[in-house]
Chain A
Amino acid sequence: MATEVIVRDRPRTAAGTPPGARKDPRKDRGRVLRLYVPLGLYLVFTLVPFYWMIVFALRPTGSTAPVPWPITFEHFDTVWNDIGYAVFFKNSVIVGVLSLFFTTGIALMGGYALARFRFRGRTVFLVVLLCTQFIPGAMMLIPLFTIFKGLGLINSLWSLVIAGTVFNLPLSIILMSGFVSSVPFQVEEAAMVDGCTRGRAFLAVVLPQLRPGLVAVGSFAFIDTWNTFLFALMFISRQDNFTIPVGLSYTIGEYSADFGALAAGGVIAAVPVVLVFAVIQRYLVHGLSAGAVKG
């Protein structure tokens, strides 16, 4: 697995056992108690809820077996075709992908400006970006609604794309500027000496090296927008524009007795983010440390 590779070539900074000490059987027992037992317990806490959902999604209605057997796809058929998850899913994909592109593109511009130029107002810009991290989205519900109403975007998926982009931009720019800084400027300069314009030098030399940054920033934006609930609930009232979280919340309310449908809807909501998570989880620690902790 890719993660294993990453883990291995990372320098060992752990508070781990010094090499050679591991032979001692008493140390080994301490390690089991200190490491594997709590880790195992925590894994149970993390994974049992996922497992329980999958069991409910796959076993027939009325079954109380703790394993999904016999397997049935009737619940998926119900939510996808009857409740309308096919439409919700399509809407969520549209919102997620558009936000991903806008966020990544605009963050690339802003991040490049922060990393490569010293300009008047740079510090103010950076401080404003950091301050936005302390604005709770739920408190923006009313003012954003009035703005989108003024723009005629209520009941339009564009309201969610814009909100998703705006709320993801600040952290994305800070992350992206870190990725741009890690590409030496000399590389770019060399290309310009060779006759490239600055724009061409960027496209030919810098952009290819930014691929991990683009993937990380884009994935964060996608996951965040895919999960957006409150804005979607407030701004969208026509059912054919519902997104997955809104659909899911109505399933919680109206089908609260039909646990199979609820679980199947949950699985549909989970699959895309789990896939994206699998792609980016190796950037998580690095990415968030660059952006959120070190600022």
Chain B
Amino acid sequence: MTLARTASAERRPLALRWAPYLLISPTVVLIAVFLVYPIGSVLYYSLQHYNLTRPWANGFAGLDNFREMLFEDPLFWSSLGFTAQWVLVEIVLQLVLGLALALIVNESFIGRGLARSLVFSPWAVSGVLTTSIWILLYNPTTGIVRYLGAPEAAVLGNPDTVFGALVITELWRGVPFFAILLLAGLAGIPGELYEAAAVDGAGRVRRFLHVTLPHLRDAIVLATLLRSVWEFNNVDLIYTLTGGGPAQATTTLPLYVAQRAIDSKDFGYGSALTTAGFLILLFCSLLYLRLSRFGADHKG
């Protein structure tokens, strides 16, 4: 990859010197206009009264939106709490199950290719489609939950069962994704290490703890971080499966933003919520990378 072209930069024809910039220009323009600028505009709108349904009341708001959010909106705090609970439970379960699944389909056995395709297939399924499928399973009169001895009452309407139902549904789609990310890391572990460990008399458990886990460390850190952002962002499924209910018990912060944006068209307040979401996510990501010492040399 390191080519000799830097050395000959002086003699390089002008056209070639501009070529890389020409090639990345569409990307730069698209990212600037549709990702960077919007983030800036969120900050601006968060300081405005901006409601599509009440254009007469629009104008500079100062910190009004933030004051309302922090002191007068219990839903902000409850949605924040539920977001943390949702992301934490999903990521821990997906990590454990995804790692187990990756270890299983990493072994060699007859029909492994087919088994991989089948267990990974929910990866390609959208949140809305997942909802359609699981509504059929959870429905009290037609669903498969009848056979599992579930109570007659609707699983999704009951505050005691709705969280578990939501978590299982997302695991169905999320575990394959996690397993795929970890499987890539597993494939990079040299086989000789296992042989050496086996020669030294290490059993299966010790080989897992002392060979597999340390080598997967960075893959696990990155996968958990990416999936955390993704689960934080996961509005499709919750919006369609529970709508944030019953009684807003399953409303995450991004879902709350979406509701304010789609249903009440309150863009100013929605932007303030978005800003808060960005800051919290940024803080958590940096903290996590710091605590996990990502990319650091862990040989010592």
Contacts and interface: CB of A to CB of B under 8 A. Distances in A.
Contact of B172 (A38, A45, A162, A233): A45
Contacts of A288: 180-181, 184
Given A173-B27, A292-B222, A141 B183 contact: no
A266 B23 contact: no
B198 interface: yes
B117 A139 contact: no
Contacts of B116: 3, 7, 281
Given A116-B3, A146-B41, A138 B115 contact: no
B229 A248 contact: no
Interface residues of A, number: 107
Interface string B113-150: 11111111111111111011111110100101000000
B257 A139 contact: yes
Given A136-B281, A141-B261, A274 B133 contact: no
A293 B227 CA distance: 12
Contacts of B277: 136, 139
Interface stretch (B62-70, B72-80, B88-96, B98-106): B98-106
Interface in B15-67: 16, 19-21, 23-24, 26-28, 30-31, 33-35, 37-39, 41-42, 45
B160 interface: no
A225 B121 CA distance: 17
Contacts of B34: 144, 147, 162-163, 166
A149 to B, nearest CB: 9
B226 A229 contact: no
A49 B27 contact: no
Contacts of A185: 3
What DSSP secondary structure best describes chain A's contact surface?
Answer: helix
Interface stretch (A67-75, A125-133, A210-218): A125-133
A50 B134 CA distance: 9
Interface centre among B136, B187, B211, B257 (most CB of A within 10 A): B136
A230 B239 contact: yes
Contacts of A134: 225, 229, 281-282, 285
B133 A165 contact: no
Interface string A277-295: 1100100111011001101
Contacts of B135: 252, 256, 262
A118 interface: yes
Contacts of B131: 249, 252
B145 to A, nearest CB: 11
Contact of B101 (A6, A42, A115, A286): A42
Nearest to B277: A139
A109 interface: yes
A39 B107 CA distance: 11
A94 B20 CA distance: 31
Contacts of A110: 23-24, 26-27
Contacts of B33: 147
Interface in B183-237: 183-191, 194-195, 198, 204, 207-208, 211-212, 218-219, 222-223, 225-226, 229, 232-233, 235-236
B271 interface: yes
Contacts of A226: 126
A143 B5 CA distance: 41
A44 to B, nearest CB: 11
A281 B23 contact: no
A15 B106 contact: yes
Interface in A107-127: 107, 109-110, 112-119, 121-122, 125
Nearest to B229: A134
A259 interface: yes
A170 B261 CA distance: 26
A178 B6 CA distance: 20
Interface string B269-292: 011001001100110010000000
Given A15-B212, A256-B135, A285-B187, A38 B104 contact: yes
Nearest to B129: A269
Contact of A262 (B26, B100, B112, B132): B132
B262 interface: yes
B267 interface: yes
A232 to B, nearest CB: 10
Closest 5 CB pairs of A and B: A289-B184, A3-B113, A143-B38, A227-B126, A136-B233
Interface of B: 1-3, 5-6, 16, 19-21, 23-24, 26-28, 30-31, 33-35, 37-39, 41-42, 45, 100-101, 103-109, 112-129, 131-137, 139, 142, 144, 172, 176, 180-181, 183-191, 194-195, 198, 204, 207-208, 211-212, 218-219, 222-223, 225-226, 229, 232-233, 235-236, 239-240, 254-255, 257-258, 261-262, 267, 270-271, 274, 277-278, 281-282, 285
9 contacts: A3-B116, A46-B119, A49-B137, A106-B26, A116-B20, A136-B281, A146-B45, A269-B129, A277-B123
Interface of A: 1, 3-4, 6-7, 10-18, 35-36, 38-39, 42-43, 45-50, 52-53, 56, 64, 106-107, 109-110, 112-119, 121-122, 125, 128, 132-147, 162-163, 165-166, 169-170, 173, 181, 185, 198, 223, 226-230, 233-234, 245, 248-249, 251-252, 256, 259, 262-263, 265-266, 269-270, 273-274, 276-278, 281, 284-286, 288-289, 292-293, 295
